[in-house]
Structure 1
Amino acid sequence: MGHILVSQKGRSQELVEIRIQQLGLSRRIQLQSPHFMSVPLLVAGSDLISTVPHAVAAIFATMAPLKLLPPPFETPLISLQQFWHRRVDRDPAIVWFRTLVAELFLGRDPSMPAGRAIGR
């Protein structure tokens, strides 16, 4: 099938592209986009497919009539990271907020229902 490729250097999608190359696989890329937002309507209105993170696909499935399928190979886990300016490194409000965000996402797969930890 023809594929829509979301091409974002340094993003999660690049990890999937590297994995495809490592497996010696290739795809028939028919459309390339720098972002995910156009993908659900393009897929729903064509015979094209696209590989996107599961959490993104789940949201897309609420926007358009899409069928979600797992890829036919293992995909790498995506690392979530926080970044902040060193100027606010010790700011109590920022420390509190960073801690809150870390607690909400630590060990949790964002594509699963709330409270579901990775590996369960």
Structure 2
Amino acid sequence: MRPDGREHLLDRVLEDKGWQRHVTLELSHFMSLLALLPGSDLVATVPDDIATVVGRHVRLKHIELPFRPPQIHVQQYWHRRMQDDPANRWLRGVFHAVNRRDADAGLP
């Protein structure tokens, strides 16, 4: 996956190890895998949560990486005028709670 031409974090990790991937196809959205993976010999490197969602729709063989994958750090930003807005505070709290729950569960 290479949304909007951005660098794939996994490439950096592999490069540091002296490895490289042989990329056959680049997609801009994970859901495109639903149409491409079944019946192919393609391998997709995706976050576990994406593999779980895609795996609900197509049969997949899940193979763990032989090293710790890169972690993606998520930050929230908002305009200062929204600091005390009740709806905005609620939504920020929901995002924080969901991400904190995943972090506490040891999920990637």
Fold shared by both chains (TM-score > 0.5)? yes
Cα distance between partner residues in 2 of 1:104 and 1:37: 22
> What SS does structure 2 have at the residue aligned with 1:38?
helix
Deviations 1:7-54 (A, max 9, x none): 1326xxx22121111111112211111221112331222101010000
> What SS does structure 2 have at the residue aligned with 1:82?
coil
Which residue does the alignment assign to 1:16? Answer: 10
**2:78 is equivalent to residue 84 of structure 1:** yes
Structure 1 spans left out of the alignment, 5+ residues: 1-5, 110-115
TM-score when scaled to structure 2? 0.81
Normalized per residue, the structure richer in helix is 2
Contact 2:11/2:20 (<8 A) preserved: no
Structure 2 spans left out of the alignment, 5+ residues: none
What's the offset of the Cα at 1:117?
1.6
**2:91 is equivalent to residue 97 of structure 1:** yes
**2:28 is equivalent to residue 34 of structure 1:** yes
What's the offset of the Cα at 1:62?
0.7
Cα RMSD, aligned residues only: 2.1
Cα distance between partner residues in 2 of 1:35 and 1:86: 32
**2:2 is equivalent to residue 7 of structure 1:** yes
Runs of 4+ in structure 1 deviating by more than 4 angstroms, as ranges, are: none
What's the offset of the Cα at 1:72?
2.1
Deviations 1:64-107 (A, max 9, x none): 11111111222122222223333322212211221232123215
TM-score when scaled to structure 1? 0.74
